[in-house]
Chains A and B, each alone.
Chain A
Amino acid sequence: SQQGEEDPQALSIQEGENATMNCSYKTSINNLQWYRQNSGRGLVHLILIRSNEREKHSGRLRVTLDTSKKSSSLLITASRAADTASYFCATDAVSGNQGGKLIFGQGTELSVKP
């Protein structure tokens, strides 16, 4: 069953602006991860946030996690044309020996115009 829902489905911004993508999920998790996918390519891991963490930064990326609301957000600051890609959240659900299995959300398609 699908775990994550992402919002918005598509986002178009100008270079230099910030981009915020949101992810909601349904069950308890060990961690939540964000991935980027350029057109026709594989997914690239961006950042992992554990269930006991509330915020994490990596370069221009900021991820928040609210386990009480079962939601996460990814903020990309000072966006660049090269950030144009699809962004997926993925949850590693707490369930027996399933550690490591990820369930992906539907993704947000980000377009950054020069």
Chain B
Amino acid sequence: DAMVIQNPRYQVTQFGKPVTLSCSQTLNHNVMYWYQQKSSQAPKLLFHYYDKDFNNEADTPDNFQSRRPNTSFCFLDIRSPGLGDAAMYLCATSRTGTYQPQHFGDGTRLSIL
């Protein structure tokens, strides 16, 4: 089945140690999104790509970076994770346009030691 796949499902890293989360999709959607979701909170958009056009949210910390080498893959890099970055990170895709639903992966739960 076409889907959005996130790896790993669980990631543990040390305070300050860089970590990369990955997302792949077989839907051939040109828009990809990264969200951060803390416990019992709404998903918060960090950034998104229209094709290779990167769009950062104004309040996304500089500590968070992203790469999209091709249509299928997108990466979230956290350069120096702090304790406050422990969260679920969700990747989503959609077609371009106003009336398009988003398709989510199952997320990566990040823990910081």
Contact = CB atoms under 8 A, between A and B. Distances in A.
B77 interface: no
B25 to A, nearest CB: 12
A100 B43 contact: no
Question: Which has the most chain A C-beta neighbours within 10 Å: B40, B101, B109?
Answer: B101
A50 B42 CA distance: 22
Majority DSSP secondary structure for residues of A touching B: strand
B99 A43 contact: no
Given A40-B109, A41-B106, A48-B101, A104 B43 contact: yes
Size bracket, chain A contacts = 20 to 34
Nearest to A88: B42
B42 A106 contact: yes
Contacts, number: 63
Given A42-B106, A100-B94, A2 B42 contact: yes
Interface string A84-112: 00001000100000011111111101000
Contacts of A88: 42-43
A30 B98 contact: yes
A92 B42 contact: no
Nearest to A44: B104
Given A33-B101, A41-B107, A100 B96 contact: yes
Interface in A17-43: 30-31, 33, 35, 40-43
A101 B104 contact: no
Contacts of B4: 42
B84 interface: no
Given A50-B99, A88-B43, 18 more contacts: A31-B99, A35-B104, A40-B107, A40-B109, A41-B106, A42-B6, A42-B90, A42-B104, A45-B103, A48-B99, A92-B99, A99-B96, A99-B97, A100-B50, A102-B45, A102-B102, A106-B41, A107-B40
Interface of A: 2, 4, 30-31, 33, 35, 40-45, 48, 50, 88, 92, 99-107, 109
Interface of B: 4, 6, 31, 40-45, 48, 50, 90, 92, 94, 96-107, 109
